[in-house]
Amino acid sequence: MNYEKVYYDLIQKAKDQNRKKEKNTYYEAHHIVPKCLGGTGSYSKNKPHSNIILLTGREHFIAHLLLHKIYPKNRPLLYACWRMCNMQTKLREHHKPSARTYEEIKANISKTNKTIVVSNEVRVKISNTMSGRPAHNKGKKMPEEVLYKWRKSQPKIQCTKCGKVGGGHAMKRFHFENCGLVKVPLKEVQCPYCKKVGKGSMMKRWHFNNCKNQIK
């Protein structure tokens, strides 16, 4: 598929409609040439910019997805597309991506993050910036409505299976679904290299291949 042609056809369609922001319509300003590729401009109702176009929420998402397809190695465009996948506001005409699209973007984000190397200089700079910073809620009083909910005692409820009694929230969260489940005991395994015997995945994590590499 020619993603570049599809992208500019989408932009041309919006241009032909000569869109304007009004009370009964919802549009989002979009940079035709993204800032990370040298694009400039900002939306103004009185002074239109040649690099700014108004798109619907769905069109805006598709535009960023197409830009990512056109420039798959461009990190800022990938992050912009990822933010569009997770943006949730009341005012936004949010277009929910398909599960396949979401998985693809998320996988690309994971691959990209693994290639990022943070130098010690940057680490020190981040540490100096964050150290000594007060908490965001320091000195702020909690609203009485919230405090009332926290202080309000939970009603006691009883499990119909085992008869255990506890607070409603904790019982619903941790007990009911797990009540009566029998935990399967972990099998003992022996490391073929150091001959140590233990249970569960911890043996496979800390022995086996590690012991084999040490022998080499």
Q: Residue 78: which of 116, 58, 99, 104 has the closest Cα?
A: 104
Burial category of 207 from C-beta neighbours within 10 Å (exposed 0-12, middle 13-18, buried 19 and up)? buried
Which of the given ranges, 21-25, 93-97, 112-116, 182-186, has the highest pLDDT on average?
112-116
Confidence class of residue 88 from pLDDT cuts 50, 70 and 90? Answer: low
HEC-encoded secondary structure of the chain: CCHHHHHHHHHHHHHHCCCCCCCCCCCEEEECCCHHHCCCCCCCCCCCCCCEEEECHHHHHHHHHHHHHHCCCCHHHHHHHHHHHHCCCCCCCCCCCCHHHHHHHHHHHHHHHHHCCCCHHHHHHHHHHHCCCCCCCCCCCCCHHHHHHHHCCCCEEECCCCCCEEEHHHHHHHHHHHCCCCCCCCCEEECCCCCCEEECHHHHHHCCHHHHHHHC
Q: What's residue 14's pLDDT?
A: 92
Residue 191 and residue 203 in contact, taking contact as beta carbons nearer than 8 Å: yes
pLDDT computed for residue 41 by the predictor: 87
Cα–Cα distance list, 202 to 82, 88, 159, 193 (Å): 35, 40, 34, 15
Instruction: Give the residue among 172, 176, 183 at the shortest CA–CA distance from 161.
Output: 176
Confidence of residue 94 (pLDDT cuts 50, 70, 90): low
Q: How confident is the model at residue 9 (pLDDT cuts 50, 70, 90)?
A: very high
pLDDT (average), residues 89-95: 56
pLDDT over 80 at 153, yes or no = no
Residue 182 has a pLDDT of: 52
pLDDT class of 47 with cuts at 50, 70, 90: confident
Confidence (pTM): 0.56
Please check the confidence at residue 75 and state whether its pLDDT lies above 80.
Answer: yes
- For residue range 12-36, list pLDDT tens digits in order: 999 999 888 887 788 889 999 999 9
Both tokens of 27, joined, read 């549009």
Pick from 62, 148, 138: which is nearest to 97 by CA?
62
Does the structure show a pLDDT above 60 at 90?
Answer: no
pLDDT score, position 204: 79
pLDDT at 68 over 90: yes
pLDDT of residue 2: 92
Instruction: Grade residue 178 by pLDDT with cuts at 50, 70 and 90.
Output: confident
pLDDT of residue 141: 84
Can you tell me the mean pLDDT for 201-205?
Answer: 78
